[in-house]
């Protein structure tokens, strides 16, 4: 079913432009540019909505690797700030590609039925965090904010459309 990772004959084909920059960032962390690593980043590059480990694993084509490797890599990539982790509240971690220099701060509007995810611009007045922190003696305050609702499709269709 799965095949060993060392066997792909064109290891760099999927990486298009950001190879240099990517290589740079990987090297800085004493990280290696492996087949699975590239393939995972490539899957994220092709999707706009946050993807779960399992979804990413399923989307890997012939470059597939073990699910555990997907987990490990996403943890690593998050550490390196190449991806951002989202918690949509269903107990499944999802990830988005993070652009260079981008702090990736935005929120999501999630459909309760079909889990459709829309990116949201709205956010807090930034000073509220500091204010809240000061009021309660906290520092380094950040926040997590997600909206939930019923998307237009699920309002009419009683059955979820995945």
Task: Write out the residues near DNA by the rule CB under 7 A.
Answer: 2, 4-7, 11, 26-27, 30-37, 52-54, 64-69, 71-73, 75-76, 91-93
User: Among DNA, a second copy, none, what binds residue 120 when CB lies within 5 to 8 Å by partner kind?
Assistant: a second copy
Residue 117 as a binder of a second copy (CB under 8 A): the answer is no
Q: Which does 32 bind (CB under 5 to 8 A by kind): a second copy, DNA, none?
A: DNA
Binding residue (CB under 8 A) for a second copy from 65, 82, 83, 151: 151
CA angle at 138 for the pair 135 and 139, rounded to the nearest 5° = 120
Q: Report the distance separating Cα 46 and Cα 76, nearest Å.
A: 20
Residue 146 interacting with a second copy (CB under 8 A): yes
- SS3 of residue 52 by DSSP: strand
Interatomic CA distance for residues 37 and 116, integer angstroms: 26
**Length, in residues, of the chain:** 162
Q: Degrees (nearest 5) of the Cα angle 33, 36, 38?
A: 55
Question: Which residues in the 25-84 window bind a second copy by CB under 8 A?
Answer: none
Find the binder of a second copy among 10, 62, 136, 159 (CB under 8 A).
136
Residue from the set 9, 16, 62, 91 that interacts with a second copy by CB under 8 A: 91
| Dihedral, CA of residue 21, residue 41, residue 37 and residue 143, to nearest 10 | 90
| Short-list 80, 58, 79, CA closest to 70 | 58
DSSP 8-state symbol, 49: S
Residue 144 binds which entry of DNA, a second copy, none, with Cβ cut-offs from 5 to 8 Å by kind? a second copy
Binding-site ranges for a second copy (CB under 8 A): 87, 89, 91, 109, 111-112, 118, 120, 122, 128-129, 132-133, 136-152, 155
């Amino acid at each position: 079913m799965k095949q060993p990772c060392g066997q792909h004959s064109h290891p760099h084909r999927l990486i298009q432009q950001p190879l240099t920059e990517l290589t740079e960032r990987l090297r800085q962390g004493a990280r290696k540019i492996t087949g699975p690593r590239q393939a995972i980043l490539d899957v994220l590059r092709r999707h706009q909505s946050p993807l779960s480990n399992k979804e990413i694993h399923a989307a890997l084509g012939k470059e597939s690797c073990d699910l555990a490797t997907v987990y490990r890599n996403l943890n690593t990539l998050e550490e390196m700030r190449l991806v951002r982790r989202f918690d949509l509240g269903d107990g499944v971690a999802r990830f988005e590609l993070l652009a260079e220099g981008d702090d990736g701060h935005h929120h999501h509007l999630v459909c309760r039925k079909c889990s459709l995810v829309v990116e949201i611009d709205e956010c807090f007045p930034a000073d509220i965090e500091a204010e809240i922190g000061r009021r309660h003696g906290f520092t380094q305050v950040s926040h997590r904010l997600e909206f939930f609702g019923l998307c237009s499709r699920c309002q009419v269709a009683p059955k979820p459309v995945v």
